[in-house]
Chain A
Amino acid sequence: MRSSSRPFYIYAVLFMLFLYGPILLAPLFSVNDSIFATFPLKGFTLRHYAEMANNTGLLKALRNSLIVASASSIIATAVSVPAAIALTRYKLRGSGLIMTAMSAPLVVPSIIFGVALLIIILRFLDLELTLWTIGASHVFISIPFAMTVLMSRLEGFDKSLEEASRDLGEGAWMTFLRVTLPLAMSGIVSSLLLCFVTSFDEFVLAFFLSGTETTLPVYLFGQLRFPNKLPGMLALGTTILMFSTLIVILAEILRRRGVQSNSPGEV
């Protein structure tokens, strides 16, 4: 067993290096005391991180990103909760089609999605490009994530719990408030976090749909034209990376805790 599993082990290590190696270069050069992202390394510094705090353009983009991510994650989750309940609780005709349609944003290239939305917003709706237009597009791409998380949570719990509530005298709405919502809460929080990260990291749609105000990833891209800003942007990228990773881990912990609480104790 041991000897035969060795090639797979080596394969797994190479695989991880290939996946994460390039990403790890960003944190590495962000603490390098040089404006050039090249080897050999010059020395350790946190200067690039400290400078971020004084960069008003960056802070403004950060504020915009937080607004867009908060709003779009709340809206995406709010519209997904009833949809997820409908799809898990009732045998709907064509529910498979609905699921496939909802995951379209996962497979349609963002650039096509971006161009299409741009045409709709400018030509048909005649709206200006603002943070709202970015937020709206982020709601669309967040919905598949919200649906996946919420449905796995709702499918996990015993349907007789809702029947028991009806049996004990509560109507549909109070059953939702007293049973379904509390039990789905961990899924809802984890959906909020995932949608937040999805929006916070999104570049292509934000690039197409931003007007004068822009989000952090678009700001970061704009700054790459200036070679001397590179280490600062690497520091920014590293911060975003760590922040996002933290949130995704948190969301996963919450989701798992939720799934465990479905089967309390032994019967």
Chain B
Amino acid sequence: MAEHTDAVIEIRDVSKLFGPVAAVDGVSFGIIRGEFFSLLGPSGCGKTTLLRMLAGFEQPSRGEILIDSQPMAGVPANKRPTNMVFQSYAIFPHLNVEENVGYGLRNRKLGKDETRSRVVAALDLVKLSGYGKRGAHQLSGGQRQRVALARALVCRPKVLLLDEPLGALDKKLREEMQLELRQLQRNVGITFVFVTHDQEEALTLSDRIAVMSSGKVLQIARSDDLYENPNCREVAEFIGNMNLFEGKVAAVAQGNVTIATAAGTFTVPHVAPIGAGNAVHLAIRPEKLALSADKPAPGLNAVKGRVIAQTYLGDRRQFLTQIDGMAKPLAISRQISGAESPISTDSDVWVTWPPQLGRLLTS
């Protein structure tokens, strides 16, 4: 088996069964040392179960997990080189901030001074200097989050596991913490494995993202790659907004595929071999579509429709356009620069896009 020297975690064909239900179903991938890796998916997709198997709170029913090339089977949570930030933070209510942060240092045979200075440094790292004597109940949500981070980082884990740590914070605080978390990860250089159901959060924070659904990993990719090149409908619809045209392959030529749909015939780039007649989807992001009143130039994909609604969003305007033959209206997002000509609701328009911006989805 090929050893990746730069993989700090290797997950090999791991499944977890709860009774007859597979919470995690035959998952294999590696996490690179020092990266910010996110497990993204709707609730119940198995991301938290996978994280808990990394932490040692659950044992895989099948497959194996290696951390730093060491098999983790039979290694309990307290003997693993991982530390976790819990969704509820799990701050010990009977201890103050200092005692919480120093909790994991007790049996590390450190001197009193060494322990103290590490606790102080950890509090400094999360910007909580001077809060050491505060009781757990005197902390705000954001501060509790920081204590949980400091408490885990002070143990200098090889991997830090974070279970939806920002879920309980309000929007503004959450955005602040996202920035700080990213900064912190770069400063300490520890591998972060981050579980979230919030795709925007995952895109903002991660070096790489694994999208999970029903216990399986659908796609692992960098944020931009995931957004631009989703490999299936589920990923395409889960990450951002996506317009989908259902159709059949009509012709294949020179890296391009022509698709016949109910709304017309479109061209889309595609290199992998595919036969005519296959059922496929053409996917196109709302911001890649253009609107115009005039008949477009040849060479563009174009479809005629009627604007049925528009929403002003400050920096951009979102149009919904009804196309004959399609059940769902197309979403078009247009940046507001001030120069574009207004389009009124109920007017007939052309929706266009250059063929290379569409994506062909076979599953």
Binding site for B on A (CB under 8 A): 157-158, 160-161, 163-171, 174, 178-179, 182-183, 261-262, 264-267
* 5 closest A-B pairs by CB: A264-B137, A168-B104, A164-B90, A160-B90, A166-B77
For the complex, what is the distance from the CA of A160 to the CA of B165, rounded to whole Å?
13
A160-B87, A163-B77, A170-B78 provided; 8 other pairs, C-beta below 8 A?
Answer: A161-B93, A163-B84, A166-B57, A166-B77, A167-B56, A167-B152, A183-B94, A267-B168
A265 to B155, CA, bound (A): 26
Bound Cα distance A158, B87 (Å): 11
Distance, CA A37 to CA B152, complexed state (A): 70
- Min distance, Cβ A143 to any Cβ of chain B, angstroms: 27
The interface bits of chain B over 98-112 (1 if a CB of A lies within 8 angstroms of the residue's CB, else 0) are 000001101110000
CA distance A174 to B77 in the complex (A): 14
Query: Nearest Cβ in chain B — how far from A168, in angstroms?
Result: 3
Compute how far the CA of A267 lies from the CA of B135 in the bound complex, rounded to whole angstroms. 15
Task: Choose from A160, A179, A264 the contact partner of B86 (Cβ within 8 Å).
Answer: A160
Interface flags for B179-190 (1: CB within 8 Å of A; 0: not) read 000000000000
Cα A158 to Cα B76 in complex, Å, equals 20
Q: Which of A161, A169, A171, A262 contacts B90 (CB 8 A)?
A: A161
Q: Is the CB of B88 within 8 A of A158?
A: yes
B residues less than 8 Å from A262 (CB atoms): 93
Q: B104 to A163, Cβ gap below 8 A?
A: no
Q: Quote the shortest CB–CB distance from B92 to chain A (angstroms).
A: 6
For A161, what are the chain B residues with a Cβ–Cβ distance below 8 Å? 90, 92-93
Instruction: Compute the total of residue contacts between A and B using a CB distance below 8 Å.
Output: 82
Once the chains bind, are B136 and A264 in contact (CB under 8 Å)?
yes
Complex Cα–Cα for A164 and B103 (A): 10
Task: Say which residue of A168, A182, A266 sits within 8 Å of B94 (CB atoms).
Answer: A182
B94 touches A167 (CB 8 A): no
Contacts of A171 in B (CB 8 A): 76, 78
Q: Is B55 an interface residue (CB 8 A)?
A: yes
**Residue in B closest to A265 when the chains form the complex, CB atoms:** B137
CA gap between A160 and B76 in the complex, in Å: 16
- The prevalent SS among residues of B at the interface is mixed
Contact B141 A267 (CB under 8 A): yes
Q: Which residues of B contact A170 (CB under 8 A)?
A: 78, 106-107
| A262 and chain B: residue at smallest CB distance | B93
Bound form: Cα–Cα A175–B311 in Å: 55
By the criterion CB–CB under 8 Å, are B140 and A163 in contact?
no
**B206 neighbours in A (Cβ, 8 Å):** none
Q: Which residues of B contact A174 (CB under 8 A)?
A: 107
Smallest CB gap from B94: residue in A = A182
B93 near A261: Cβ-Cβ < 8 Å: yes
**Chain B residue at minimal CB-CB distance from A171:** B78
User: Does B343 sit at the interface, judged by CB under 8 A?
Assistant: no
Decide: B140 and A158 in contact? CB cutoff 8 A: no
Q: Given A168-B151, A168-B155, A183-B93, answer yes or no on A265-B138 (Cβ-Cβ < 8 Å).
A: yes
Contact A168 B83 (CB under 8 A): yes
Given that A160-B90, A161-B90, A164-B92 are contacting pairs, would A169 and B136 also be in contact in the complex, using a CB cutoff of 8 Å? no
- The answer to whether the Cβ of B139 comes within 8 Å of any Cβ in the partner chain is yes
Q: Across the interface, do B93 and A267 meet the contact criterion of CB distance under 8 Å?
A: no
Residues of B within 8 A of A167 (CB): 55-57, 77-78, 82-84, 152
Among A157, A169, A267, contact of B104 (Cβ-Cβ < 8 Å): A169
Q: Which residues of B contact A183 (CB under 8 A)?
A: 93-94
Is B92 a contact of A179 with CB atoms below 8 Å?
Answer: yes
Query: Would A169 and B88 count as touching, CB distance under 8 A?
Result: no
Asked if A164 and B86 sit within 8 Å, CB to CB, the answer is yes
**A261 and chain B: residue at smallest CB distance:** B93
Given contacts A160-B86, A169-B107, A267-B168, A261 and B77 within 8 Å (CB-CB) = no
Residues in chain A near residue B104, CB distance under 8 A: 168-169
Closest to B135 in A: A264
